[in-house]
């Protein structure tokens, strides 16, 4: 998929099967789609002036992108929410406004100060009004791309425009998440592609650099984006398996008498205790005597919640009973 200078859109130059096909989007026609999607809350990571990481939720909806309803203003509000002090670290930045390039062209750089590597130079600020309008109209248009592909293109397009002094990557993730929510057709999602991108930040920067410095063929980026999405879904599935397993466990043992220490012990094991949990280790963790720790564990084994692990020697370790292998559901 390529976005060339003077072209009307992206063109697919190859897919996984090696064949070529076109999935372009139209030039600026002003065509707008009505909203059929509920508001969604898109979580992204924000970084404050004290470098503290906190969760921020952006209220997004398809109607938010309607040019006549202030889509640019919505982007400005997102940006202002990221930088409420008007500063990024020690620097004062333009908040809630497009960049003006007063300090020179917008560049994405890496490396030490004395040997900077320019990974990407964004379009001039003078073009932003036109380019962002075009992006927003495309975002609202019935452009023909599969929904997941459109999400990847939206992320890439916004990151390529790099319209703000700072925070472009995080807002690009939020934009991509918006399209994923549309693809799901639901206000709830149980996976986070933005979180997965944050975990693979170096790889993300590398593939963005190759895409933006080359012919703007987006095929490699889209392949990486979809693979990252797959990882996000798999991670969410693993997390969900743990949550459901815990819920089934406590549903099975609801009403079983246990003290606060015993409940803490069981939760510690359900979380995946590192190593073998013996009575002596539990006594240290719980701050109780060895006899009390042994009594706690023995009672839970008697109730059927725990079982002794084989090969424990003098200091027997215990583990939570797996309902799947015990024949219970």
Judge residue 39's burial from the number of C-beta atoms within 10 Å of its C-beta, 0-12 exposed, 13-18 middle, 19 or more buried.
middle
Contact 135, 72 (CB under 8 A): no
What was the pLDDT predicted at 314? 56
What was the pLDDT predicted at 6? 30
Nearest to 160 by CA among 83, 90, 214, 91: 214
* Separation CA 272–CA 171 (nearest Å): 35
Which residues are CB-neighbours of 209 under 8 A, at least 6 positions away? 108, 119, 120
The list of the chain residues with pLDDT below 50 reads 1-68, 329
What was the pLDDT predicted at 199? 93
Q: Determine which helix (DSSP H) or strand (DSSP E) holds 45, and give its type and residue range.
A: strand 40-47
Q: Name the percent of the chain in helix, strand, coil, to the closest 5.
A: 50, 15, 40
- CA–chain centroid gap for 309, Å, is 38
Q: What is the pTM of this model?
A: 0.68
What was the pLDDT predicted at 285? 86
What was the pLDDT predicted at 181? 85
What was the pLDDT predicted at 272? 78
What was the pLDDT predicted at 111? 75
Which residues are CB-neighbours of 240 under 8 A, at least 6 positions away? 190
What the chain holds in terms of domains, given with CATH numbers, is 2-238 (1.10.3290), 257-320 (1.10.10.10)
């Amino acid at each position: 998929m390529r976005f060339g200078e003077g072209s009307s859109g992206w063109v697919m130059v190859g897919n996984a099967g090696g064949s070529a096909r076109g999935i372009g989007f139209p030039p600026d026609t002003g065509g707008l789609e009505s909203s059929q999607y509920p508001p969604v809350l898109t979580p992204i990571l924000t970084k404050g002036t004290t470098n503290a990481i906190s969760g921020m939720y952006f209220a997004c909806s398809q109607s938010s992108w309607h040019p006549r309803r202030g889509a640019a203003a919505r982007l400005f509000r997102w940006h202002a929410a990221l930088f409420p002090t008007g500063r990024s670290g020690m620097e004062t930045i333009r908040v809630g406004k497009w960049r003006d390039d007063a300090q020179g062209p917008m560049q994405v750089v890496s490396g030490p100060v004395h040997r900077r590597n320019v990974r990407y130079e964004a379009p001039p600020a003078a073009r932003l009004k036109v380019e962002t309008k075009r992006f927003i109209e495309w975002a609202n248009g019935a452009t023909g791309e599969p929904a997941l592909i459109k999400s990847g293109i939206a992320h890439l397009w916004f990151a390529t425009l790099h319209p703000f002094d700072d925070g472009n990557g995080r807002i690009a993730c939020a934009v991509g998440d918006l399209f994923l929510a549309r693809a799901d057709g639901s206000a709830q999602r149980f996976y986070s592609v933005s979180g997965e991108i944050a975990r693979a930040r170096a790889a993300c920067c590398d593939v963005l650099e190759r895409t933006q410095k080359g012919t703007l063929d987006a095929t490699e980026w889209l392949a990486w984006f979809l693979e990252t999405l797959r990882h996000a879904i798999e991670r969410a599935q693993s997390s969900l398996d743990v949550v459901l397993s815990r819920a089934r466990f406590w549903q099975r043992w609801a009403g079983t008498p246990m003290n606060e220490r015993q409940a803490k012990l069981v939760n510690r094991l359900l979380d995946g205790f590192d190593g073998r949990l013996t009575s002596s280790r539990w006594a240290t963790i719980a701050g109780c005597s060895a006899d009390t720790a042994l009594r706690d564990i023995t009672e839970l084994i008697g109730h059927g919640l725990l079982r002794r692990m084989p090969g424990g020697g003098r200091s027997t370790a215990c583990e939570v009973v797996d309902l799947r292998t015990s024949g219970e559901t």
